[in-house]
């Protein structure tokens, strides 16, 4: 006779932990920057580089002196090193030291440098032109600026080699985003010359700029439709409404404004499982 199956030993059965599942929504649209012509790219980089050099805009950083840890030495060697360190030839000339910061601070306030600064300035609607470097990795770092600049009706484009050309001139390691404020006075001519060369952005749920969305429909066509509706009877009114809806393809979505959030006062929180209620 076959032996009966034995029960598993103590501790042999392992409980599998439940898998953590997080729900997420993906965007069905692909949003990307519009392509910039090669001639326009060279023009933008050259004009900005010449303007920064003429203004002398640069960030100066003081070099921190490294502390030298001396080993235990004899008193004779220590005295000779102190005499050499006190040599007046090694002292830098007076007036050569400069404080850290931007050389013309007034010009620096007219720009927004960096992704975070450009994002904050766009949210406050304080920019008139935005330039983004193409070498930013990953691309999602600067992709949110497409919708943000289009919603603020600010021309923006992606410029290749922006950080490579302008970062050494300004004295920074990299320049992933550059914005020109509306209150600028030092870059008025440059901004006016660059804006016509910037390609328009395309976002599926934002048909063009919000200012020009109402101008897409011709006023003459709307007036003719209104006259036809008034002349017709109520039976044909629904047909004209259908034609009008089919003709209007541009739809502008308005932003949702939340005034106040009120928590649920009837929400009862359950005690944690670990704590057991003791009954007296």
Average pLDDT of the chain, as a whole number: 75
Burial per residue of 69-95, b for 16 or more beta-carbon CB atoms within 10 angstroms, e otherwise = eeeeeeeeeeeeeeeeeeeeeeeeeee
For the entire predicted model, the pTM comes to: 0.57
Query: Is the peptide bond between 270 and the residue preceding it cis, with omega within 30 degrees of 0?
Result: no
196-243 pLDDT tens trace: 999 999 888 776 444 443 444 455 555 565 566 555 554 555 555 555
Region 35-55: what's the mean pLDDT?
A: 94
Residue 33 is predicted with a pLDDT of 92
Mark out the alpha helices in 89-211 (DSSP H runs). 105-108, 115-123, 140-151, 162-170, 188-194
Q: 222: helix, coil or strand?
A: helix
As given in the structure block, the two tokens for residue 216 are: 């897409």
Inform me whether the pLDDT recorded for 179 exceeds 50. Answer: yes
Q: How far is CA 201 from CA 31, 194, 208, 248, in A?
A: 9, 15, 8, 21
Are 111 and 178 within 8 A, CB to CB? yes
Which phi and psi angles does 60 have, rounded to 5°? -110, 130
Burial of residue 112, with CB atoms counted within 10 A of its CB: 0-12 exposed, 13-18 middle, 19 or more buried: buried
Q: Which domains does the chain have, with CATH numbers?
A: 38-59+102-197 (3.30.1330.30)
Query: What is the per-residue pLDDT for 210?
Result: 43
Helix (H, G, I), strand (E, B) or coil at 114: coil
- Enter the tokens of residue 274: 């670990």
Lowest mean pLDDT among 52-66, 151-165, 233-247, 251-265: 233-247
User: What's the sign of the alpha-carbon dihedral 74, 80, 84, 88?
Assistant: positive
Block residue for tokens 């090193």 = 81
Per mean pLDDT, which range of 6-10, 103-107, 111-115, 190-194 is the poorest? 6-10
96: region left, alpha or beta (phi > 0 left; psi from -120 to 50 alpha):
alpha
- The token duo for 96 is 């050569």
Between strands 59-60 and 101-102, the pairing is antiparallel
Whether residue 85 has pLDDT greater than 60: no
């Amino acid at each position: 006779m076959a032996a009966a199956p034995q029960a598993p030993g103590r501790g042999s059965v392992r409980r599998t932990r439940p898998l953590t599942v997080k729900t997420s929504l993906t965007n069905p649209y692909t949003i990307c920057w519009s392509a910039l012509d090669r001639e326009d790219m060279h023009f933008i980089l050259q004009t900005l580089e010449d303007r920064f050099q003429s203004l002398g805009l640069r960030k100066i950083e003081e070099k921190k002196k490294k502390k030298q840890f001396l080993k235990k030495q004899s008193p004779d060697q220590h005295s000779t090193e102190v005499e050499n360190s006190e040599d007046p030839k090694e002292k830098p000339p007076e007036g050569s030291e400069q404080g850290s910061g931007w050389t013309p601070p007034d010009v620096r306030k007219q720009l927004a440098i960096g992704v975070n600064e450009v994002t904050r300035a766009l949210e406050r609607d304080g920019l008139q032109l935005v330039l983004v470097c193409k070498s930013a990795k990953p691309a999602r770092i600067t992709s949110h600026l497409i919708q943000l600049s289009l919603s603020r009706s600010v021309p923006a484009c992606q410029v290749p080699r922006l950080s490579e050309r302008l970062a050494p001139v300004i004295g920074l390691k990299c320049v992933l985003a550059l914005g020109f404020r509306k209150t600028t006075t030092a870059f008025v001519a440059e901004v006016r010359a660059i804006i016509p060369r910037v390609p328009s952005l395309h976002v599926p749920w934002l048909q063009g700029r919000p200012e020009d969305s109402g101008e897409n429909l011709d006023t003459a066509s709307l007036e003719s439709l209104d006259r036809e509706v008034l002349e017709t009877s109520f039976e044909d009114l629904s047909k004209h409404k259908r034609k009008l809806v089919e003709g209007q393809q541009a739809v502008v979505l308005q932003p949702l404004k939340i005034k106040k959030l009120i928590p649920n006062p009837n929400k009862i929180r359950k005690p944690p499982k670990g704590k057991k209620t003791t009954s007296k």
